[in-house]
Chain A
Amino acid sequence: MANNDPPKKLLLQGNEAIVEGALAAGCRFFAGYPITPASEISEMMSVRLPRQDGTFIQMEDEIASMGAVVGASLAGVKSMTATSGPGFSLMQENLGFACITETPCVIVNVMRGGPSTGLPTSPAQGDVMQARWGTHGDHPVIVLAVSSVGDCFDITIHAFNLSEKYRVPVIILSDEVVAHTREILALPAGDKIEVIDRIRPSTPPEWYIPYEENSRGVPPMAAMGEGYRHHVTGLIHDQRGFPTQKPKETEAFMKRLFRKITHGFYEIQMTKSIMMEDAEVAVIAYGSVARSAQRAVMQARQQNIKAGLLQLITMFPFPKNAVDTALRQCRSVLVPEMNIGQISREVKRANTSDCRVLKYNRIDGQIITPTEIFTELKDM
């Protein structure tokens, strides 16, 4: 039955909106460890999950949190954790386990200044490449970035949906600014939200081959305790889940891991274009910096500069096509980041035109303001 109630309006900070998004997406298990500036996510989960017969647990560290999250998902429950840089470093080990066992889960990293303990209460975007390549070995992963409280809700739901659909861990990169900014969120009714669940096997248990090839490259996933007894291992495994060292089986497995993501590029790679139709110069930005960039672009338009913004929502797999289109259209693009230029390098790699790719970076724990970006735009 359609629910015609107007959406409920809430004044929330980004961290709280992530919790709302996760619960709306069906998350019913959260394991975490206290860390600034992500702790509000744990705190709110500890209040909300038990009301919905879900489970919150505070583990002994982030390694354990990530292990518990993967375990819960293997038992069939959508699960999530949230952390910041130092904790994200500790999660890399079991994040790799989620990659190789194709276990859906969502990891929120509220970025703060680094390396090491760094700047615990200051914003940064220094974990972009760690999100992509932090765990060892070749592996596919999906990384999404949020820039507003609204994003925190919507993108978290997307994150769960992509994770379930492609059986892959999804990392949400937030930052200290997004996490603690309060904005109005219009909470849509539950039946207006698209929620995707992993495909479960439809064959009888005796026919179930847990990692069988299929056209999508995503095998149906059985939860533990439902009759589909099988082996799950962090070793390279054959289609039945047993460890293998055979070169052909190893290669087939690895290729399928990547192929399933490649096949989904059309819906995984999300970007947002603002005033790009006739843009001659553009800003390519993500996270809280995209908010400043949007303001700067409007300022530039007021001064008759044909500026536009390409906001990256999906960081990885890198949205090469959208970036390439922007580069071909513009004479120069600016990539402002609160790091030394982690995504500008990806943009340069994608650049096959004679468009100039300019960097603008802050690594002092301060946000990049609209004025700073506007000043750069004027000279482009």
Chain B
Amino acid sequence: MPNNATRLPHDYLRHDKKFPHVWCPGCGNGIVLGSLIRAIDNIGLEKDEIVMASGIGCSGRLPVYVDFNTLHTTHGRALTFATGIKLAKPSLKVIAVMGDGDATAIGGNHFIHAARRNLDLTAIIINNQIFGMTGGQYSPTTPYGCKASTALYGNIEHAFSIAELAVTAGASYVARSSVFHAKLLDKIIAQGIQRRGFSVIVAMSNCHVQYGRRNQMGSPVIMMEWLRDHAVRIEKAGDLPAKDLQDKFTIGVLADVDKPDYIEEYQKIRERAKEG
């Protein structure tokens, strides 16, 4: 039996889609896609029951390569399409893949409301802290003081912490990992898909080309080391003094609340409507 490294690409990548893919060498997007495929394979989902939706940007190109029901939507709107699909056909497992600019700049409103609504969707946000495809403009997650093509004198805006935002907005499952911590990423993506309600997976990633080069991290290796050195297991974060957590990010599960999702609630509406 072939091992996973040869079986998974054969089973899940589209045979009729021409390669190479659009991403730069060393991009973290492929690692996230690998994690997603392993998660789906481990759960044992059928390809027909999976919908993968994306927005615009480098992350927007993930679905085209995989053999699911795939949808490449407009910038920031993946969750709105995902909402329509899930409500129309609740048996489908709907996964939305977005970038940080996609999900929290232009799509910020949809993101917080999807979390509040708690519809059973899985949102995977690849956070490379920059608008990569358009040439490295600063995004809502670009750290303060960092450089971008529209912030050559340094970014004066403060970054969103996407996972914490999702927790506050009401998402029932929120977890974060990075492309360096791929095993954890596999695990939290699988959990996110399996949990009912709105699940948010933040994958910290590298854009050494558009972000790294302007910020003294111009190679994927350096950026991987940065991810390794700046991640703190959430279980350990509580024991550390606040100053040690500055410019760090936690990895692990931030929220895991079992509560009825929107479709379960809507089923009650249907019953009430029929009685009335």
Contacts and interface: CB of A to CB of B under 8 A. Distances in A.
A59 B84 CA distance: 10
A64 B70 contact: no
Contacts, number: 143
B11 to A, nearest CB: 13
B17 interface: yes
Interface residues of A, number: 46
Contact of B85 (A74, A233, A243): A74
Contact of A75 (B72, B80, B84): B84
B1 interface: no
A29 B88 contact: yes
Contacts of A60: 109-110, 113
Interface residues of B, number: 42
Interface in B53-101: 53, 63-64, 67-74, 77, 79-89, 91-92
B72 A68 contact: no
Contact of B89 (A57, A75, A231): A75
A356 B73 CA distance: 47
A226 interface: yes
Name the prevailing secondary structure of the B interface residues. helix
A234 interface: yes
Contacts of A190: none
A337 B68 CA distance: 49
B16 interface: yes
A63 B80 contact: yes
Contact of B64 (A28, A69, A74, A242): A242
Interface string A46-69: 010011010101011101111111
A225 B94 CA distance: 11
Contacts of B266: 50, 55
A76 interface: yes
A79 B88 CA distance: 9
Nearest to B49: A225
Contacts of A29: 84, 87-88
A240 interface: yes
A67 B113 CA distance: 14
Given A51-B274, A77-B89, A226-B48, A97 B84 contact: no
A224 interface: yes
Contacts of A57: 83, 87
A278 to B, nearest CB: 51
B7 interface: no
A192 B67 CA distance: 42
Contacts of A76: 88-89
A72 B67 CA distance: 20
Interface in B23-63: 47-49, 51, 53, 63
A53 B72 contact: no
A235 interface: yes
A232 interface: yes
B84 A31 contact: yes
A51 B272 CA distance: 9
A183 B64 CA distance: 51
A224 B109 contact: no
B269 interface: yes
B270 interface: yes
A59 B48 contact: no
A328 interface: no
A29 B74 CA distance: 21
A64 B53 CA distance: 14
9 contacts: A29-B88, A31-B84, A64-B77, A68-B87, A74-B81, A224-B89, A229-B47, A231-B70, A235-B72
